[in-house]
Structure 1
């Protein structure tokens, strides 16, 4: 194996200390929780699924939320909804920044509480608010969702991973209490393809990756999707944006050409610009994953 291949394989590893601690606390708190709201990034619903979440949730009610619905087309969204339906999951699509889809999530969480309190009454116990937790990778929009559920800004949210550090309970209404948990990420990112997608979508700390490698991978993924799912993507997004066609080139070659073409040969600047344009949806509504057949 060449050095570059080896470097690429070990490209992304990110596990800050506060996440390890948060995960331990979260497992403790989960014992007290009735409903789990699992938030994923609609552009990469598989890569933002924490492998241990099924084990943590056990038999509790789980609501699957695909956030950032504004970043994928309605057509791609309905493909994912159908895919998860076949897996026996109901999907809630949200754009937490603007509040789209949030009332349906609130209603579903409260409905779980009705069931819970019926069981409590049957056992001669008093009703109590349903306890829900919002879980997901860093920066997938958990804090924005909580603020929308509350109808006011109580949780700091920012466009960078790792802002939420503490676990804390937030009371939403007489019926619902919510635990705001820091983003949790697997101890080891075994799947480097998924890790690269997390980096492209800015769902992982910037210190863990090389911009040029990640931007080159974005070009490779876009070229691949153009070939296999032309009808689901904007037409030639990179050519439309930069007047430079990516289809004949590898991601790495394209990045160097783009640097020459627009940024006086500055490859790092070209890489950063490409990633920023993708993250701001300036290349169009582009998913990085499509449902497996």
Structure 2
């Protein structure tokens, strides 16, 4: 029986996780861009909007304008004496339903015409070859340049180092050692890497960079949801979130992706039905897995940890393959794709890819408007950051007064 009402959960206030190496790289970025030809931004396919790092957007915009792109028409270039491309790779494509990829690509092309977007997985050689061929083609468009320098950026744990290792193995024939260390935990890369050669002819070099989290995840329900999403993909340091909070949101999202037969039914006792009640779900899961505490009490806390880790390791693949694509003839109107898209379908609307793209375009517009409003209202800046900014401004004024007196 399908779920007809899926209530959105109340989530905890997001923690702050912005170590010093992230701040250091953010300050270095404008200088690094002066010797960069291609920015390769890696995002997570499950969070194609949430994994956009707005902290870096200002530096990227300035870099594009300095390289001849029209600030009033983002898709038009006035001067093209040197390469300047922003490629967005949505990594881990096997963790989102295939049917949404083309509509999403088309929707993003309308909103961000200056970006080249492609889906990839380091486990699919064809995807890596496509990316390698794209970098080579950009190099050939600028034959006067001796080499192409690629800067790889993105949030923690989106797969930057792993993708670069695969790119190197594709671009350079023969056996090549693993270039970068990788980890399932965020924060492995903490400094700018040395140049990694990813193509011999033409010469293409890449720099791996530290994953940079948003300094402040935001206020209210939007900030809370943003934090939980990033924690679910292990983009935030383990331990900053209670696993039951992550399990609650994961249960909600899997229900949205398939209200008729959610992926988690595979790990519940035979005959179980979809549920929106976390306590009921964890009790069933603990029973199914034989998770007991002393006194023969079911260990639901352990079940919550198991649920999140199951989804990260294998459940995500199952959810992507079994996600339900609804249309206007469906008996209920909730539809989802990944963890960033959710909409309702009315009986009078179109069905298929046209509907999906239309709904995605509306969702992207809402995301852009929401983040712009957050920035305008300074809701993306914490109280601590505001105090630090005031202190820095005061120090600057004092230096200027001191310099004026000496002058």
Which bin holds the TM-score, normalised by the shorter protein?
0.7 to 0.9
Moved more, 134-143 or 253-262: 253-262
Q: Deviations over 1:162-200 (max 9, x none)?
A: 111110221223421111101111111112212211111
Q: Distance in 1 between matches of 2:273 and 2:228?
A: 19
Q: TM-score, normalised by structure 2?
A: 0.62
Contact 2:45 2:92 in 1 (8 A): yes
* Partner residue in 1 for 2:206: 178
SS of corresponding position for 2:39: strand
* Partner residue in 1 for 2:184: 159
2:93 equivalent to 1:69 = yes
Offset at 1:246? 6.3
Equivalence map 1:232-251=2 (5 Å): 235-243=261-269, 245=272, 247-251=274-278
Contact 1:223 1:246 in 2 (8 A): no
Q: Distance in 2 between matches of 1:62 and 1:19?
A: 21
Corresponding residue pairs, total: 273
Contact 1:138 1:184 in 2 (8 A): yes
Offset at 1:226? 3.1
2:154 equivalent to 1:136 = yes
Q: 2:44 aligns with which of 12, 17, 41?
A: 41
Q: 1:258 aligns with which of 277, 281, 285?
A: 285
Q: Distance in 2 between matches of 1:52 and 1:252?
A: 37
Equivalence map 1:1-293=2 (5 Å): 8-58=11-61, 59=64, 60-87=84-111, 88=113, 89-115=115-141, 117-118=142-143, 121=144, 127-151=145-169, 152=176, 153-168=178-193, 169-174=195-200, 175-190=203-218, 191-227=223-259, 235-243=261-269, 245=272, 247-260=274-287, 262=289, 263-264=291-292, 265-282=298-315, 284-286=318-320, 287-290=338-341, 291=360, 293=362
Offset at 1:285? 3.4
Q: Return closer, same or farther for 1:246/1:64 CA change in 2, 3 Å cut-off.
A: farther
**Structure 2, unpaired ranges of 5+:** 1-9, 65-83, 170-175, 293-297, 321-337, 342-359, 363-407
Offset at 1:100? 4.1
Q: Distance in 2 between matches of 1:99 and 1:205?
A: 30
Q: Return closer, same or farther for 1:80/1:30 CA change in 2, 3 Å cut-off.
A: same
Q: Distance in 2 between matches of 1:100 and 1:273?
A: 33
Q: Deviations over 1:65-105 (max 9, x none)?
A: 01111112211323322322332343211111443401111
Q: Distance in 1 between matches of 2:130 and 2:23?
A: 32
Q: Distance in 1 between matches of 2:273 and 2:60?
A: 43
Offset at 1:260? 4.9
Q: Distance in 2 between matches of 1:163 and 1:211?
A: 22
Contact 2:267 2:285 in 1 (8 A): no
Contact 1:39 1:140 in 2 (8 A): yes
Q: Distance in 2 between matches of 1:53 and 1:110?
A: 25
Q: Return closer, same or farther for 1:188/1:149 CA change in 2, 3 Å cut-off.
A: same
Q: Distance in 1 between matches of 2:286 and 2:16?
A: 27
Offset at 1:146? 0.8
Offset at 1:136? 0.9
Q: TM-score, normalised by structure 1?
A: 0.84
Asked which structure has the greater CA Rg, the reply is: 2
